Structure 1
């Protein structure tokens, strides 16, 4: 299961990189080249979400889910680990009764 999830994770990573690189920037038009904004909104003009935006959103969600899934599966596979797991306990002397 870990190998399958790792393969899906790598495929989603590459797909996410490709989809992000294919997207056009917010100020990629001619007005953006001269520093102008297309409208007076706070963060510039924003149109409706196109296919690339939706693909980016869903691939980011799948990326996060596979990341969490891999973390949980690998933690279960390796088992609980302690910092003091490999150390030997120092021998202790029995307590002396008080007089």
Structure 2
């Protein structure tokens, strides 16, 4: 289960990087090149989210869920293992 989740996590992370790099900025229209605000204002109405925005949202959610899942699975897998599991323990008597 862990290797499958790791592969899914890597695929989603690469997809998320690609989708974020493909998106345009908020003021990426022609008017912004000449110093104008364009049709998109800072606090104005926002249009419907396009496909890239939705893909970014869904891939970010999947990325977070796989991160949490990997953390839980790996903590459970290593809960019964210890760094000192193979070494015998010895107690020393305190010196007076």
Q: How many residues align?
A: 93
Alpha-carbon contact 2:16-2:56 (below 8 Å) kept: yes
Runs of 4+ in structure 1 over 4 Å off: 85-90
Aligned to 2:42: 42
- Which structure 1 segments of 5+ residues have no match? 94-99
What CA RMSD, in Å, does the superposition of the two structures yield over aligned residues? 2.9
Alpha-carbon contact 2:2-2:70 (below 8 Å) kept: yes
Which of 1 and 2 has greater Rg?
Answer: 1
Aligned to 1:21: 21
More displaced 10-residue stretch of structure 1: 6-15 or 41-50: 41-50
Distance 2:45 2:25 in 1: 11
Distance 1:81 1:31 in 2: 61
Alpha-carbon contact 1:38-1:44 (below 8 Å) kept: no
Q: Compute the TM-score of the two structures, normalised by the length of structure 2.
A: 0.77
Change (3 A) 1:27 1:41: closer
